[in-house]
Amino acid sequence: MVMDLPSELEFSLVTPDRQVVRESVIAVSIPGKDGYLGILPGHAPLLTELKPGEVSYTSAGITHYLAVSEGFAEVLPQRVIVLAQASERPEEIDLSRAEEARRRAEEILRQVESEAEREEARRALERAMARLEVAGRASRP
Amino acid sequence: MPNVLDIRRRIRSVRSTQQITRAMKMVAAARLRRAQERVINARPYAEQMMALLRSVAARTEDRSHPLLANRPVERILLVLVTADRGLCGAFNANLIRAAQAYLAEHRGVEVSLLAVGRKGRDFFRRHRVRMVGEHVNVFTRLEFAHARTITAQIIELYSSQAVDAVDLIYNEFKSILVQPLKVERYLPVRPIEPAEGQVLVDYMYEQPPEEIFASLLPRYVEAEVYRALLESQAAELAAKMTAMDAATNNAKELIDSLTLNLNRVRQAAITKEIIEIVSGAAAQ
8 Å CB contact of A14 and B44: yes
**Is the residue at B107 inside a domain?**
yes
Contacts of A47 in chain B (CB under 8 A): 56, 203-206, 209, 212
Tell me the residue range of the domain where B223 lies. 42-190+204-241
Burial class (CB in 10 A: 0-12, 13-18, 19+), B208: exposed
**Is the residue at B273 inside a domain?**
no
Looking at the structure of chain B, the number of domains it has is 1
**Is the residue at B179 inside a domain?**
yes
**Is the residue at B196 inside a domain?**
no
- Residues in B whose CB is inside 8 Å of some CB of A read 38, 41-42, 44-45, 48-49, 51-52, 55-56, 59, 144, 201-207, 209, 211-212, 215-216, 219, 223, 226
Of A15, A48, A76, the CB nearest to B45: A15
Beta strands in B4-85 (DSSP E): 75-81
- CA dist A26 and A14 (Å) reads 19
How far is the alpha carbon of B136 from chain A, nearest alpha carbon, in Å?
Answer: 23
8 Å CB contact of A48 and B206: yes
pLDDT per residue as tens, chain B (284 positions): 578 888 999 999 999 999 999 999 999 999 999 999 999 999 999 998 988 888 888 877 766 676 667 778 889 999 999 998 888 888 899 999 998 998 888 888 888 989 898 988 888 888 888 888 888 888 888 888 888 899 999 988 888 888 888 999 999 998 888 888 889 888 888 777 766 667 777 888 888 877 888 888 888 899 999 999 999 999 999 999 999 999 999 999 999 999 999 999 999 989 999 999 999 888 87
**B199 to chain A: closest CA residue:** A45
- CA dist B135 and B116 (Å) reads 5
8 Å CB contact of B45 and A17: yes
Of B49, B204, B212, the CB nearest to A83: B49
8 Å CB contact of B52 and A12: no
Query: Which ipTM was obtained for this model?
Result: 0.81
8 Å CB contact of A81 and B205: no
- Does the pTM surpass 0.90? The reply is no
**Is the residue at B262 inside a domain?**
no
Residue of B141, B192, B165 whose CA lies nearest to B77: B165
Residue of A43, A42, A34, A30 whose CA lies nearest to A73: A30
8 Å CB contact of B204 and A45: yes
Residue of A72, A85, A70, A17 whose CA lies nearest to B230: A17
**Is the residue at B25 inside a domain?**
no
The domains of chain A, with CATH numbers, are 9-88 (2.60.15.10), 94-135 (1.20.5)
Which of the following is catalytic: B68, B81, B88, B129?
B88
**Is the residue at B34 inside a domain?**
no
8 Å CB contact of B45 and A14: yes
Is B19 assigned a catalytic role?
no
**Is the residue at B144 inside a domain?**
yes
- B200-228 pLDDT, tens digit each: 778 888 888 778 888 888 888 999 999 99
Given a contact cutoff of 8 angstroms between Cβ atoms, the answer to whether A45 and A77 are in contact is yes
Contacts of B55 in chain A (CB under 8 A): 74, 76
**CATH code for the domain of B141:** 3.40.1380.10
**A86 to chain B: closest CA residue:** B45
- B101-150 pLDDT, tens digit each: 988 888 888 889 898 989 888 888 888 888 888 888 888 888 888 888 99
Contacts of A44 in chain B (CB under 8 A): 201, 204
